[in-house]
Structure 1
């Protein structure tokens, strides 16, 4: 039979000890954690945000060097110097590079969506009593729009414009609308929660607001030149469309990158359940 002293030596020093009241005369219950993995959440976010940026750079550079004729082809057959994102990610082998990048990107993105959802719920105490119901509605709306945006990103990635342009175009519109409205809802949530009391909060809100307005401005420019290209077939109209498209992608990445400011020191811990072991006393 194992003694109490020997059993305690087998356990980590930091393991808490609890007494089983039903059998206190001859036993004690010890709880210990088997194992855990810890990594910095901010580093994970940096990695997640950098993936599509790196992927776009690789696709843009390689496509312009080796496949210029393929990426500059337009609907109206007009002169074009800036290929669209769909053009550089829709040809082979760039489409496979882009799909791998997005596959690695969306997993952590779903995690950050849930983290932000919990973060907004924790700000409920800052909201006035009269706005709490509206605030909770917008919290769930922000989560829904974020998930729709990510689903549309997956769809627009794996249904390329060369494979099925009508479906690709519709999914792209869903991505654009959900992305813009999500940014707007987030800004409204932060304003309702009086976000900005600390210096880091002020910095995060400032960048989010600037990126949203820049994205909105670029979206207007994109729509104007899309009409000029598709309806009037103006020279260089598609180049300007692509120019604004890259800026929209950059502002979207930047908006999501502000999570680094919101969660600078947090860690993610993955561990097993606590294990109980009963040891009898001689």
Structure 2
């Protein structure tokens, strides 16, 4: 349930911000530096006006909290599978696991950055943090798919695992194509001020955000029956308790 709420909370909040800003603050969220015709506001626009910015920042704060321990859960989950690899692959795979953790943490930090430093407050910093988020997000997706290919090369996967890998690949391809579209229409808007160019830029920005959220939502297939526990007690009792629990395979 934590994973489901963590993954879906920004999506629900984003939809709420879009609808309310579009209905009640139409002129504010459609304003661009080119003053051209625009029908789709950007994420920065709908989450940069008040009171939507407070809803968005609150939801991202709730979203980021669980994602940090989940990143380390993934690291431990992947490392537990190194034993079945050929010795020649262990070192390279171990480095890849560490890279995935670092990329995930930078992505989380960048998400917080673009949320709490809006484009209205400091556009140059907001833009650089957004680029960092985009690069780390795509690299994280690619590295995760590559790692799953290495770890599962000699393993028979069940339907749930196949579903997870299939959707990770689909969402990565969707993110790549959307990023290309975003860059093309950003250039058309920034340098040529074409009508609707910013709307297409915003459209691809939403696709990227949704694909990113759904990519992380695949955790429901990776850990379908695991629970996050916060426990207190002597270390000996804790070790004994955890030792009696079934391991993740």
Q: Which residue of 2 aligns with 1:235?
A: 195
- When the two chains are superposed, the root-mean-square deviation of aligned CA atoms in Å is 1.3
Q: Which residue of 2 aligns with 1:24?
A: none
What is the CA–CA distance in structure 2 between the aligned matches of 1:275 and 1:239, rounded to whole Å? 56
Which of 136, 148, 154 is the aligned partner of 2:94? 136
TM-score between the two structures when normalised by the length of structure 1: 0.81
In structure 1, the gaps of 5 or more residues are 1-42, 277-282
Deviation string, structure 1 residues 107-157 (Cα, Å, up to 9, x no partner): 001111011111111121232221111100010000000000000000000
Q: Which residue of 1 aligns with 2:23?
A: 65
Q: Secondary structure at the match of 1:268?
A: coil
Q: Which residue of 2 aligns with 1:148?
A: 106
Q: Secondary structure at the match of 2:228?
A: strand
Which of 118, 123, 127 is the aligned partner of 1:169? 127
Deviates more, 1:81-90 or 1:127-136: 127-136
Query: If you compute each CA radius of gyration, which structure gives the higher value, 1 or 2?
Result: 1
For residue 263 of structure 1, report the CA deviation from its aligned partner.
0.5
Q: Which residue of 1 aligns with 2:243?
A: none
For residue 50 of structure 1, report the CA deviation from its aligned partner.
1.2
Which of 68, 71, 86 is the aligned partner of 1:113? 71
Change in CA separation of 1:275 and 1:224 when aligned onto 2, cut-off 3 Å: closer
What is the CA–CA distance in structure 2 between the aligned matches of 1:183 and 1:236, rounded to whole Å? 30
- Richer in helix (by share): 2
TM-score between the two structures when normalised by the length of structure 2: 0.91
Higher relative contact order (CA 8 A, sep 6+): 1
Q: Which residue of 2 aligns with 1:222?
A: 182
Show structure 1 runs of 4+ deviating over 4 A: none
Which of 242, 263, 266 is the aligned partner of 2:226? 266
Q: Secondary structure at the match of 2:229?
A: strand
Q: Which residue of 2 aligns with 1:84?
A: 42
**For this pair of structures, how many residues does the alignment match?**
234
- Richer in strand (by share): 1
What is the CA–CA distance in structure 1 between the aligned matches of 2:92 and 2:74, rounded to whole Å? 18
What is the CA–CA distance in structure 1 between the aligned matches of 2:214 and 2:235, rounded to whole Å? 43
For residue 106 of structure 1, report the CA deviation from its aligned partner.
0.2
Deviation string, structure 1 residues 62-100 (Cα, Å, up to 9, x no partner): 101110000000121110000000000011111111000
Q: How does 1:246-261 map to 2 (within 5 A)?
A: 246-261=206-221
Change in CA separation of 1:114 and 1:232 when aligned onto 2, cut-off 3 Å: same
- 1:182 lines up with 2:169 in the alignment: no
For residue 269 of structure 1, report the CA deviation from its aligned partner.
2.4
Conserved in 2, the CA contact under 8 Å of 1:60 and 1:88? yes
